[in-house]
Amino acid sequence: AGGRRPMEYAMAEAESRSETLIASAADRTALRTRHLLAAAQIVFGLSHGSLLITLSMALGVGATSWWLVFLPVWLGNFLCMVLLVFSWFASCSYVHQCLNQGQARLGESATTNNPSILTELFPQVIMAMFGLVFVLLALVAEILLCRYLDRGQRGESRTLVPSALFFILVSLLATCRGICINANAELFCFLGAGCLVSFTAALCVPGEPFVDSAWIFVLPQLASAFGLLVSACLRLRRAKRVLTREERILRVVEQLMLIGLLAALGLLLWALAPAGAHHQSSASSAGAAAGCLICLIAALRARMAVVESRHSLVRNRLLDCEASGRASGTGRETRMMV
């Protein structure tokens, strides 16, 4: 009996260590779905910023294969789809551990950054499924656009209608997503609305829109960039009290880059303006600068996501700050009444 007791203690200790390791592994997978979704958005931005750079280079060089020019979005969209599919299963270990313990969240909600599987994780998985549909539609629209440009380069008959209709559908989805969901709402709203206006106008203008009226694709994007700048300023002002020093610096740098993007798009609009001769070299330089700035903003957003993952979400910090403010206000009123 004396020999069994140490053995029982050892077995209990081994079981406890095993459970601790399982819980630790589940904690490590808790935020993987969120991180993969953020990575997919960043890759999407980087690939389309790179597309603007390759388009500008093609404008400066002359005749080249449009399928090669669009290579950044082929690679970027494929990587986005891979990340979105992986995000469906990335936090399965965490979900399994929560279900085993009969809890919606592992750990105390006040002391942990783990997401709730009901209010955070499952909605993220559903949005990843819709995101895959969105990227597929965007890929189809870009394939049709590339085909349109390629046929024009070879002197064949072409029409922008199929590509424009798909871009309009993608734009409507992005705008609706921004209206219905608060996270990154301004990004989806402004960019979706800009793309919607661009391709709707392209269907209305006479002639070849990419030859005779290329400026109509730039003007709505200029307005979208201005809207993003204003929303970034308002967001920083609203959240400044709960941000760390690095987060405040990153947001100020983002605003400076948006100002640079406005300048680059303004120069591109002037170069493509219908009044006077077109300035091809200026348009090429301005387009390349805008593409580089879009890539830098996407990289900056990646750094913001990394910094934010070390703490709770900014919107959660704002809610906690408002709740503590209301609680302190109630406490002061109670003391005054006493």
Highest averaged pLDDT of the listed ranges 70-79, 98-107, 315-324? 70-79
pLDDT(167) > 80 = yes
pLDDT at 68: 93
Token pair for residue 239? Answer: 């959240």
pTM confidence score: 0.84
Higher pLDDT, 90 or 208: 90
Closest to 197 measured CA to CA, from 179, 218, 213: 218
Unique residue bearing structure tokens 């064949």: 156
- Two structure tokens written together for 327: 């609680």
Residue 212's pLDDT is 73
Give residue 19's pLDDT. 45
CA 81/CA 130 separation, integer angstroms: 11
Query: Are 63 and 139 spatial neighbours (Cβ–Cβ below 8 Å)?
Result: no
Contact between 114 and 104 (Cβ < 8 Å):
no
Instruction: List Cα–Cα distances, 11 to 77, 100, 216, in angstroms.
Output: 50, 21, 73
**Tens-digit pLDDT profile for residues 274-285:** 764 557 778 889
Question: Is the pLDDT higher at 45 or at 331?
Answer: 45
> Does residue 298 contact residue 42 with C-beta atoms inside 8 Å?
yes
Q: Which residue has the higher pLDDT, 31 or 316?
A: 31
pLDDT digits (tens, 9 = 90+) for 208-225: 787 778 888 999 999 999
- In the prediction, which pLDDT does 105 show? 84
Residue 310 backbone dihedrals phi, psi, to 5 degrees: -75, -15
Q: For the beta carbon of residue 30, count every other beta carbon within 10 angstroms.
A: 25
The per-residue pLDDT for 59 is 76
Most confident of 180-184, 241-245, 276-280: 241-245
Position with higher pLDDT, 36 vs 26:
36
CA angle 241/243/247 to nearest 5° reads 145
